[in-house]
Amino acid sequence: MAHTGTTRLETQLLHSGIAEFNPKTQSAPVALPSMRTSTVRFASLEALDHALADKADGERIATYGRSGMDTHAALEEVFCELEGAQRAFLAPSGLSAVTLVFMALLNAGDHVIVADCVYGPVRHLDKTVLRRMGIEVSYCRAEPGALEPQVRPNTRMLYVESPGSLLMEMLDLPALAEFARRHKLVLAADNTWGAGYVYRPLDLGVDVSAVAGTKYIGGHSDLMLGAVMANDPELVRRLNETHYAMGYSISADDAWLALRGVRTLPIRMRQHAENALRVCEFLASRPETARIYHPAWPQDPGHALWQRDCHGSNGMLSVELALDHAQARRFVNALTLYGIGYSWGGFESLVQLVEHAPLAQHSYWGGGNNAVVRLHIGLEAVEDLVADLAQALDKARA
């Protein structure tokens, strides 16, 4: 990273992972090019020997194209800046990053406690892979009092997501870190919501952070990307070995897109967050709204934790509406500016009707027959987004 003389992340993100000056011409491109290769050449066997020795010592050395060249290294540097980490490992998607955490840090016969608010596909990973590998998984509300009875002699890891998937449940990460230390557990967290910019789990005591760079890092809904970050040398070693053994690789073009996206991350997230609060204000004024799930919203039960631990927010929120299933479907179908889709973090607004079956797996959910809708509030004019919600709610009630 260039020496900026500042610790402000907004500045660091613009000066991390940039191209070095050409020693001959003393010039450099503003944007680091996408460096594609499958083969890395060495000037001599001695140079290769030196590279292999450094790699064996755990350094980030490219000896084959799968690990990537300068573009990949630049993106890893950016993830380290965002998360306050010593090492970052890139993965083809957010779920593959989560998979790397489980496969690197658990062995057959181990037990892991998973917060019941995690990203739904983690349960599918458990059902289809972890059980077959002899790894036991328990799901529980991520609070020390609830977690204590779940600890077994073979428990090795506590895996959480904060805020939680679907309902944005804020977790007390420092308290969970103290609990994990007391029981000698690795604490791993999905930090996709915070993206390292508005939430830094490693600073709060978490051992390993996983992020889906598909979301706010890329910011334009045009790439798939995951990353895993850590500081502890032993955890870094295990992640490094498993990352190599599993053959993880991302394209140089996707790394380049992520680098391009992350330069505007602070501006985008601030605007997403501002728009989301405006939408919350509108929803709170509607008679159909039973509850808003958004930690930056002052009435959210996790607001105090958000104020203590986060540096900002984003465009993600869920809303419980006093609508039956048919009315909820009419509401979603009547929206014109919100695309119906499963991802988020791009520039566009999205909507998802949340089924009650996955909600029932979250102890944070109070139950009932009300509809729950998840919204990603994009970068459109917020007045238009509010007007679209208003007309759709009117049609749902009609």
Q: Domains along the chain?
A: 9-262 (3.40.640.10), 265-397 (3.90.1150.10)
Q: Which long-range contacts (CB under 8 A, 24 or more apart) does 379-382 make?
A: 379/268, 379/271, 379/272, 379/275, 379/347, 379/348, 380/275, 380/337, 380/348, 380/349, 382/274, 382/275, 382/278, 382/279
Helix axes 382-397, 325-334, angle to 10 degrees: 140
Q: How is residue 124 written in tokens?
A: 């599918």
pLDDT of residue 1: 45
Q: What is the pLDDT of residue 17?
A: 79
Amino acid identity, position 87: R
Q: Is the distance from CB of 142 to CB of 115 less than 8 angstroms?
A: yes
At 248, the amino acid letter reads Y
Residue 90 tokens, joined: 């890139």
Position 107, amino acid: N
State the burial class of residue 357 (Cβ atoms within 10 Å of its Cβ: 0-12, 13-18, 19+): exposed
* Predicted local confidence at residue 5, as pLDDT: 62
Helix (H, G, I), strand (E, B) or coil at 328: helix
Q: Which amino acid is at 121?
A: P
Lowest mean pLDDT among 44-58, 224-238, 259-273: 44-58
Sheet holding 316-321, edge to edge: 289-293, 316-321, 371-376, 350-354, 339-340
pLDDT in tens, 270-305: 999 999 999 999 999 999 999 999 999 999 999 999
Query: Hey, what are 9's tokens?
Result: 């992340």
**pLDDT at 315 (0 to 100):** 98
Residues noted as catalytic: 66, 119, 190, 215
Q: 300-325: per-residue pLDDT in tens?
A: 999 999 999 999 999 999 999 999 99
Among the residue ranges 13-27, 142-156, 335-349, the one predicted with the least confidence is: 13-27
Average pLDDT, the chain: 94
Q: Kindly give, in sequence order, each residue whose CB lies less than 8 Å from that of residue 235, ignoring residues fewer than 6 positions away.
A: 105, 186, 207, 208
List, for residues 319-350, the tens digit of each pLDDT value. Answer: 999 999 999 999 999 999 999 998 999 999 99
